[in-house]
Structure 1
């Protein structure tokens, strides 16, 4: 059996990467950080026109008609580019909230515990909520993920989806974002290790740095494999494992990337810290490590003789 991406899936990845590179490159990322505007409405509509949000919506309903594996590929590229905004919630809202599929409506969700909602101030709707609730701003670790606290409970407002629960799909897509970030920090670490010199040679020539970068790559690829498998099977335990591995890969790789960069990595001019801060926030979205561990434990106990 061939588990390699199909030609259509590779073309999809290339198309999304080209779109984001041209529309949301490093200059746009830094402009978002400086301005505090996390959701570019023009870009959001362009994503809608490209089918980003309607990717899994049936063609009969105006969507692209693809599946979760293709969505994972697309979201991996968004994670690689550190594209901000409630991407997962708006994607899940396609076909449910008017304008979500086309990108004319920005939809967020109760995807964090403690009544926290991301991007509430920039959203037009909250998935599963009858109206946009009021919220109080809460300081966020990630400058591109503003948070608000609202009195509504988090999980109770998520309705069931016809093909899979929103929580499960949200966990897979968030894991894909994490994988994209983990792979990107590998690229950043390797590039910097090849450019920065110590004692007359690139630091990448030193064994300790080589081992660090190799460990980052292994961690990211293991997580990517788990996320792809979860997207194909839709199995609850595999989804939980994929989210655990992806969260670990994104956070640990960003930390190791910081170590490769040394003092430079801690400066505001470097992008590494943005990957770490985003990874911290995503690790708390849709399914936390504790929730995933509980689900895995229940699955293991249930299958025990």
Structure 2
């Protein structure tokens, strides 16, 4: 499939990236790690910018765009590790009053009983009786689990938007690895001159671009099987890309001050969302057998 963004889609992508550069840059990311909590001011700004109402029809006060545009926006959110129940609130826009405007924060109980940002949510969709807090590997994603929950198949749109966030992480970690390889010197030359580092960066790029093609195509077809394939490729690109990026950085990649380790931790948490990769694997297996 040959897929090129339209002029309007590229303009949307640039506008969202500029918004995040102003409101959630590296300094803001570090501040969020040091003082966890949902930034309500930023949440309302996202609402005012149309982040949550992107797919709500114009007749209902929304932006009136489609799934491909939502994927582009969520890719940018994943690229900067924007915190909060973004997918849940986006899906609630037009259904839960105030969600589209960013005045209401919405959390969802997924099919395995996991809930992201339960304590910060104004509205929780699903039963949360007996929810217990978990120690989250990602300092920017507080988690709870509701015992005994075994839900239905995950919403394909939620799966695809999660894949888009994973794609953002895969792209960002590839950028960070290349940047470090160009500037870090050993034995009198940049480490990017060494074949082993070149191979790591090349594999990161291939995985990210393969995932991009699958995620963008699934956004066009909206086919559950295409979405399942895109999710698996994006999960791999995000998790393995972050691991490879840490390897390029060496010991520094594991340090608390380094952004890379935050991408790996977020990729792990996203990888459990919406039933995890197992549900997508089962869906693909059924399709192949059919």
Specify if TM > 0.5: yes
Cross-structure match for 2:149? 153
Cross-structure match for 1:264? 252
Q: Provide, for residues 80-134 of structure 1, a one-character-per-residue CA deviation record: whole Å limited to 9, x for no partner.
A: 0000110000000001111110001011111362x221100111112355xx656
Q: Provide, for residues 212-250 of structure 1, a one-character-per-residue CA deviation record: whole Å limited to 9, x for no partner.
A: 101100100100110011111011111100000000000
SS in 2 for 1:101: coil
Task: Say whether the 8 Å CA contact 1:247–1:279 is kept in structure 2.
Answer: yes
In structure 1, distance between residues paired with 2:191 and 2:3: 36
In structure 2, distance between residues paired with 1:35 and 1:154: 33
Given the alignment of the two structures, is residue 218 of structure 1 paired with residue 196 of structure 2, yes or no? no
After TM superposition, the score normalised by the length of structure 1 is 0.92
Given the alignment of the two structures, is residue 176 of structure 1 paired with residue 168 of structure 2, yes or no? no
Cross-structure match for 2:16? 16
In structure 1, distance between residues paired with 2:111 and 2:27: 29
Cross-structure match for 2:233? 245
**Matches of residues 84-103 of structure 1 in structure 2 within 5 Å?**
84-103=83-102
Given the alignment of the two structures, is residue 57 of structure 1 paired with residue 56 of structure 2, yes or no? yes
**Matches of residues 71-220 of structure 1 in structure 2 within 5 Å?**
71-111=70-110, 113=112, 115-128=113-126, 133=129, 135-151=131-147, 153=149, 155-156=151-152, 167-220=155-208
Task: Say whether the 8 Å CA contact 1:243–1:287 is kept in structure 2.
Answer: no
Task: Say whether the 8 Å CA contact 1:167–1:287 is kept in structure 2.
Answer: no
Cross-structure match for 1:7? 7
Residues 6, 287 of structure 1: CA spacing in aligned structure 2 closer, same or farther, 3 A cutoff? Answer: farther
Residue 287 of structure 1: CA displacement? 3.9
Deviates more, 1:147-156 or 1:53-62: 147-156
Aligned positions, number: 290
After TM superposition, the score normalised by the length of structure 2 is 0.96
SS in 2 for 1:90: helix
Residue 35 of structure 1: CA displacement? 0.6
Deviates more, 1:143-152 or 1:180-189: 143-152
Where in structure 1 are there 5+ consecutive unaligned residues?
159-165
- 2:221 pairs, out of 223, 226, 233, with 233
SS in 2 for 1:121: coil
Where in structure 2 are there 5+ consecutive unaligned residues?
none
Cross-structure match for 1:35? 35
Residue 3 of structure 1: CA displacement? 2.2
Given the alignment of the two structures, is residue 293 of structure 1 paired with residue 289 of structure 2, yes or no? no
CA root-mean-square deviation:
1.5
Residue 289 of structure 1: CA displacement? 1.3
